[in-house]
Structure 1
Amino acid sequence: MVWTLVALLAVASAAVAWREPRSLSVGVLALLAAGASVLAVAGPGGVLAALLLALASLATFSVLSGLTMRRQPGQARVGRVAVALGVVALGYCAAVLGAWVGAADDLVGWLFVLGTPAFYVASLFVAFVGYGAVYGRIVRRWARPVDVVIVLGAGLHGDRVSQVLASRLDRARVALERSRSRGRDTHVICSGGQGPDETVPEAVAMARYLVDRGVDEALVRREDRSTSTDENLRFSAEIAAHHGLEQGRFAVVTNDFHAFRAAMLMRDAGLAGHGLGASTGPRLWAAAVLREFTAVLWEQRLVHGAVAAVLTGAAAVVAATP
């Protein structure tokens, strides 16, 4: 019976991925299939161990990202909160593990009820990071050619692109050349407004960077009004529509930690295509991934809150049953 459930969940995950790969549901269904497999092989104890591992992973990310943020201007308080939450979660995992090893089944049960919301969030985190990594690898290798490459801005040093932004532009140049080599009349849109500490709009510096590295200026468009990813996509779509490409395929280039969420935002904006990520240094990666995951949770906070409440109630009923 359990293996039938595993098969159904796996088929459902594949079906959703085929219809719309830019959906976290793909990762959630795959994770549920994996969880059911663990239940079939190792029983409830195996599921508890997997949940503890997921929560410990999220807690470790929180501590590492908090330590990184504490060294950044204006992020010290947020960093301290992230470290504190991570330490508390690790302490909770140790308490559950201690009660489990000590065969205190009732205590384990009620500790599990207490931690059900955290287990739910940690499971979503594993689905987000795991499927995001799979999505990024598949896109880099097998993505179809596109009509428009949109590069998202990432801040300047005066009038020059930062290292993070340069990595995005280099990835965009590769995507542009790849699509044009396969017969598409592909153009690139540099998307980014002007921040308070920037001497020119990001789009201007981005376009200059690409042209200086051999990209034909006739292929480059500039979107210089946006201040957020939503505006990047909306304003760039308007430019594409002005050139008759509103029904085309798009590649939105950002960094790898942001690529899957950017793809989700593309889906919501009605843009066909995929998100494409440039590599990120390990020093910034953990904090950036945690920030993206928090944004995804916040965007659907009412839904996730309701699901966590239902799961906690169900866990409490099970724990109270003799």
Structure 2
Amino acid sequence: MLVSRSGYNWVMGSLLVAVALLGVFWVSWRREPRRLRLGVYLVLAAWFALGALLQLTRDLWPTDGVWALLPLLPVPLTVLALAGFLVANGLTMVRKEGRSLGNLLSLVVGVALVAAPVVAIVLLRTHDGPFIAVAVFAFFVCVQLGASFAAFLAYTLAYRRVRPGDADAAAVVVLGSGLVRGQVPRLLAGRLDRAVTEWRRLRALGFSTPLVPSGGQGPDEPRAEGDAMGDYLTDRGIPASDVVVEDAARTTEENLELSVALLRDRGREGRLTVVTSGYHAPRAALISRRLGMDAVVLGAPTARYFVPSAYLREFVAVLTYHPWLHLLLVAPSAAFAVLLARAY
């Protein structure tokens, strides 16, 4: 028998758990695709499937010493490749978009991915209890952040498969973003063009769905984003009677809440079709569910170089939705680090 009895049981057990998790994911996704836990189900399913694969590899090709770690070699190589990509992307963002904290985010994360292991090795080589405890605690925090990011990424990929369907919508709401000298920039134009495509599709199905460009006036903007977006839409042939401008929102939450209020005043209620940039669509979907709204969020294409930094900002924002959960998860690591420091 090529595979040992214990190995066979481990492989089959892990695969059964992975399949069960995929089943739970599928049922949950069909009921409500705007749940971050969907990503958790997918990551756990992948984890158990990988465990089964590693056990099968060990049984079929027994190895000792360093060679036993060969199946794990792609992990550090992937981290290094990701670090290089993020650094290159960060430099591109600075060159094309200028220096700002948001534009520097991918560069900072890329450098941190390279620096973190080096710093950890230096701390461990001190053989000093507190320094070792800091290294161990940082390791567990990085693992937690990595797992959280994987779950968010898996949820994002799952949500991209959501489609609006052929039923009427109360409105097609377009989320605003910053203007450039009072005009609609390329990023916002992409959202508006995607909204127009969806609006025309609903019109072809016989529905009289209004378009709601939503966005207030920022401190560095000469006019409200909603007004500029409304002009953009009418300039492209959308009848002014079909454009309902919302010009007071300052956040995604306000975009949705104020748009719903405007529509309610006009007797339009029901499911919303919300359009934003592709990187923002998953978080906007989470927000719409937190607000108790029936909505499907569509993502518009975005320049590729812009996505990594923007997506990292979205991930950081999502982390703030469950602060107590993350503190609870990190507490055992902190306690272990304290005990380790005292043991030396």
Q: Structure 1 counterpart of 2:184, which letter?
A: V
Counterpart among 3, 15, 36 of residue 3 in structure 1: 15
Indicate the larger mover: 308-317 or 121-130: 308-317
User: Could you give the per-residue CA deviations for residues 214-260 of structure 1, whole angstroms, max 9, x where no partner exists?
Assistant: 112111101000111111111111112112233x1111111001011
Counterpart among 250, 258, 261 of residue 235 in structure 1: 258
Structure 2 CA distance for partners of 1:239 and 1:50, relative to 1, 3 Å: farther
Quick one: distance in 2 between partners of 1:281 and 1:42?
38
Written as runs of structure 1 = structure 2, the 5 A alignment for 1:262-273 is 262-273=284-295
TM-superposed deviation, 1:175: 1.0
Gap regions ≥5 residues in structure 1: 97-109, 318-322
Quick one: distance in 2 between partners of 1:143 and 1:90?
48
Quick one: distance in 1 between partners of 2:184 and 2:72?
47
Task: Note the aligned Cα RMSD (angstroms).
Answer: 3.3
Written as runs of structure 1 = structure 2, the 5 A alignment for 1:64-143 is 64=88, 66-68=90-92, 70-71=94-95, 72-73=97-98, 75=100, 83-92=107-116, 114-136=138-160, 138-139=161-162
Written as runs of structure 1 = structure 2, the 5 A alignment for 1:277-316 is 277-310=299-332
Gap regions ≥5 residues in structure 2: 1-12, 59-68, 121-133, 340-344
- 2:33/2:162 contact within 8 Å kept: no
TM-superposed deviation, 1:148: 1.0
Quick one: distance in 2 between partners of 1:57 and 1:180?
46
Matched, 1:37 2:49: yes
TM-superposed deviation, 1:306: 1.8
User: Could you give the per-residue CA deviations for residues 70-120 of structure 1, whole angstroms, max 9, x where no partner exists?
Assistant: 455561x66667645433323556899xxxxxxxxxxxxx98875222122
SS in 1 for 2:288: helix
1:22 corresponds in structure 2 to 34
SS in 2 for 1:39: helix
Give TM-score scaled by structure 2 length: 0.76
Quick one: distance in 1 between partners of 2:159 and 2:71?
25
Q: Larger radius of gyration, structure 1 or 2?
A: 2
- 1:24/1:128 contact within 8 Å kept: yes
Quick one: distance in 2 between partners of 1:69 and 1:295?
20
Quick one: distance in 1 between partners of 2:72 and 2:118?
13
Q: Structure 2 counterpart of 1:304, which letter?
A: H
Counterpart among 252, 261, 267 of residue 244 in structure 1: 267
Q: Structure 2 counterpart of 1:302, which letter?
A: W
Percent same amino acid among aligned pairs?
Answer: 34
- 2:210/2:244 contact within 8 Å kept: yes
Indicate the larger mover: 30-39 or 199-208: 199-208
Structure 2 CA distance for partners of 1:47 and 1:29, relative to 1, 3 Å: farther
Counterpart among 165, 173, 188 of residue 196 in structure 2: 173
SS in 2 for 1:222: coil
